[in-house]
Structure 1
Amino acid sequence: MNVVLYTILVIVLIFIWLGLDLYFGRMKHIKETRTLSFPKRQGEINLYADGNLLFKDLYNDMRQAKHHIHSLFYLVKEDHASQEFFNILKEKAEQGVEVRLLLDFMGSFGIKKRTIKELKKHRVQVEFYHKPAFPFFFFSINQRNHRKITVIDGSIGYVGGFNIGKEYLGQDPKFGVWRDYHLQLIGEGVQDLQTQFLQNWELAGDFSSLDWGKDYYPVSEKGPHTHQLVPTNGTQLSEIFLNLIKRAEHSIIICTPYFIPSDLLLVELLDALGRGVSVTVLVPAKADHPIVMDAAFPYFSTIIEAGAEVYRFYLGFYHAKVIVIDDHTCDIGTANFDKRSLFLNNEINCLIYDKEFVQKTIQEIYKDIHHSEKLTLEFIKNRSLFEKSKEQFSKLISPLL
């Protein structure tokens, strides 16, 4: 009996420690974090929803680099699809181009040490972000740099939802077609992607203030699309999403792989529905992580009952991170509509204020809806007892999903 009691006590103490670690680690982070703020810019933006098209242009631009390639990814897999990416970095570094590769420690944990050693041997500078650290170890392994940024010669930038690996090219039979959204930026906004990358680079390597001169910030021309880069560090994203939803007069479209809103966001969505705004949510039918999908169902029930439409993409896996407000504003970037992106991760999104671009984005989303099934309250109600029990557990740990 004493063994059972001691075991229960140890488990309780562990949970208390984890809770305190997470809470005080976040408080320390909020106090010390330095979030950048960027103005509205003018530039040219190209939209990608297919990984094969994205990486064809990304890799071609990287091969044309003359001065530097700065690349930050949350996740780079160790597979055949990533080898082309690594080979380009090595080839350009050997040609004398400055190549910096920044990876999230947990997201890219699977990269072999010999791969990193080989990259460095070919003069590629490699750093890892958010390495586990004390005293708030649990918080440190849960906070991720979820950004995906590539800057080439300070004149071309990429940002969005795609990571590097075979599944992002639709080559993993487990997921099939991989649907995601990514942007190519040319013009004024590239300087902000550069600044964000360099801030993360300096923090990751604990470098002293380096001299980033005009070669990293060439003069850029204005373009047709008004946009604003919005980096967040687990503290500002909720306010950004709330402001977007409040602005909606006719329609809100939310595309996300994980729908786990905060209480404030849920209330704001219900308020929008109450004032006659149509709300459409598009999520995957397949799950890429256990439990995460189950955490969304209580929220699905609530918004469907209030009049929202929820669609589940069945053609493959849906990884898009998009919010469209009416016909005038869209948000595309790295942040999911979930508590991890809201309160833990480093993210970066791009707000685009251009009706023509918004319409193009909506057309792509309609293609996704065409390959989706509408979720009903009857389907949710008839889920098995096991699935419903997973809902309750997942809801309890939703901040970490």
Structure 2
Amino acid sequence: MRLKRFLLRYYPPGIILEYEQRGNVRTKSIDFLDLTLETNPDELVAEIKKSEPLITESRADQVKELVLQLQQKQAQQDHHRFCFCKELKAHILPLTNVAFDKSGLRFITGSYDRTCRVWDTASGTELHTLQGHRNVVYAIAFNNPYGDKIATGSFDKTCKLWCAETGKCFHTFRGHMAEIVCLAFNPQSTLVATGSMDSSAKLWDVETGKEVSTLTGHTAEVLSLCFNTLGNQLVTGSCDHTVAIWDVASKRRLHTLIGHMGEISNVQFNWDCTLIVSGSMDKTCKLWAAGSGKCVATLTGHTEEVLDVCFDLRGQLIATASADGTARVFSATTHKCLVTLRGHDGEISKICFSPQGSRVLTAGSDKTARLWDIQSGACLQVLEGHTDEIFSCVFNYEGDAIITGSKDNTCRVWH
């Protein structure tokens, strides 16, 4: 093995090692999920040298310099105040979802008007209209970090794979017997997973467009799914009240996570692949050990359905959004509720952390999105202007831009 170069990753903090093995270029990451400004760089580098053969004495100074850069980035306080930049009359019918590419230079919108549109973030120019679906385009994703492909899942029972640069359709994935409502690329961008109202999930080969496997076992609609960061496992959440963990290589179901009393609204792995969080219509979230499938904790407090849930990028915090009009932030280690976010007038359907992890963004039926400080629970900003409920909200990778997508057929860009 020969180390070729280092790549720095700010969110979550880490270093990617690019190396050559038997003529093939491979990568592996060293994660610094516990890195703080108080961390001693020399001690950290000494630990890395012990556990990582690619980091030799001659590379120690380089690694230390990268650690210092990551600490400098952390020292930059996340005081960004967002200003309304532009409104895009994006579609002729309500939006379903919005998503950024890794660079933040482009974003996509899906709509009930059967199209997905690609936009230039800075200018608001429409770059491409992805046409061909015969029903609502409900689920959309870039193949980040690459950002050169887009997947769209539709109520027409198909998923399409597109070239992000040209708007050309590479493949149409056919095989589901009902609407596709969720999808995801694996981190290697070799597979697309789709979840459907037909109670199944499917894996598709990005290169050939062929179906790789059908993951069956759920007895009701598959509403959400997520690959872990290694790409070797997929988790699915269903209306049958269960969550399933699948081995991607063997296509076998490893664990069925039983305990919720209502349908699952969202599921997600944490960064280091050890935990899974699930939100449910039973008003609770559950935290599961990914290795054993055992329930580690039940996060309670909401008085209505939990409509969305997510980890921060370090996997140390969990945020929940509920139909009771509040959001909550929990510790992933102590399982305690750290703060309750109150201010929306109506249900909150979407929630996400800023890349830095110090802010939470929520979208509600009260036509506003709100930015919160997770330490104090204070509402820092109300993003107003939409004339109907907001279905989707996302940060870009740097955390200095936000897109909100609404039932009012528009999306808004905030910088």
- TM-score bin (small chain): under 0.3
Q: Which has the higher contact order (CA 8 A, sep 6+)?
A: 1
Q: TM-score, normalised by structure 1?
A: 0.27
